[in-house]
Amino acid sequence: MFFGREKELSKLEQQYQSDKFEFPVIYGRRRVGKTELIKHFLQDKKAIYFQGIAGTDKQNLEALAKTIFEYRNKSFSDELTYQSMAGALDDITALMKAEKLVFVIDEFPYLAEASPSISSLLQYYIDHQWKALDSMLILCGSSMSFIEKQVLSAKSPLYGRDITRYKLFPFTFKETKYFLDNVSIQDAVAYYAMTNGVPYYLGLINQNQSVMENIESLFLDNTAKLFEEPLNLLNMEVRDPSLYLAILNAVAAGNNKYNEISTKTGLSSSHIAPLLGNLIELGLIEKISPLPTGSKKGLYQIKDGLYRFWFTFVSPNVNFIEIGRIQAVKMMIEARFTTFLGPIFEDICRSWLIDESDNKKLPLMLTDVGRWWGGNPKTKQQEEIDITGIGIKEDELLLGECKWTSQSPTLLMLEKLIDRSRLFNHRHKYMYFFSKVAFSDRVIAFAKTEHIRLITLDNLY
Say what the pLDDT of residue 444 is. 98
CB 389 within 8 Å of CB 366: yes
Q: What digits encode the pLDDT tens for the residues 133-175?
A: 999 999 999 988 889 988 999 999 999 899 999 999 999 999 9
193 is a domain residue: yes
CA 328/CA 326 separation, integer angstroms? 5
Q: What digits encode the pLDDT tens for the residues 250-285?
A: 999 999 999 999 999 999 989 999 999 999 999 999
pLDDT for residue 79 is more than 60: no
Domain boundary among 167, 192, 221: 167
144 is a domain residue: yes
CA 262/CA 191 separation, integer angstroms? 32
350 is a domain residue: no
**Do residues 124 and 248 share a domain?**
no
C-alpha dist (Å) from residue 23 to 105, 253, 278, 298: 11, 44, 28, 39
Q: How far is CA 61 from the centre of its chain?
A: 32
CATH code, domain carrying 114:
3.40.50.300
352 is a domain residue: no
63 is a domain residue: yes
Q: Is 283 exposed, middle or buried (0-12, 13-18, 19+ CB in 10 A)?
A: middle
Domain boundary among 129, 144, 167: 167
CA 461/CA 452 separation, integer angstroms? 20
The residue-averaged pLDDT of 200-211 equals 97
356 is a domain residue: no
- Helices in 21-135 by DSSP H: which ranges? 34-41, 57-71, 85-98, 108-114, 118-125
**Do residues 80 and 196 share a domain?**
no
**Do residues 61 and 122 share a domain?**
yes
Q: Print the domain residue range for 214.
A: 173-339
**Do residues 449 and 371 share a domain?**
yes
Say what the pLDDT of residue 294 is. 67
**Do residues 332 and 183 share a domain?**
yes
pLDDT for residue 80 is more than 80: no
Please indicate, yes or no, whether the overall pTM of this predicted structure exceeds 0.75: yes
Q: What digits encode the pLDDT tens for the residues 413-433?
A: 999 999 999 999 999 999 999
Say what the pLDDT of residue 75 is. 67
pLDDT for residue 40 is more than 90: yes
The residue-averaged pLDDT of 70-95 equals 85
Domain boundary among 167, 189, 220: 167
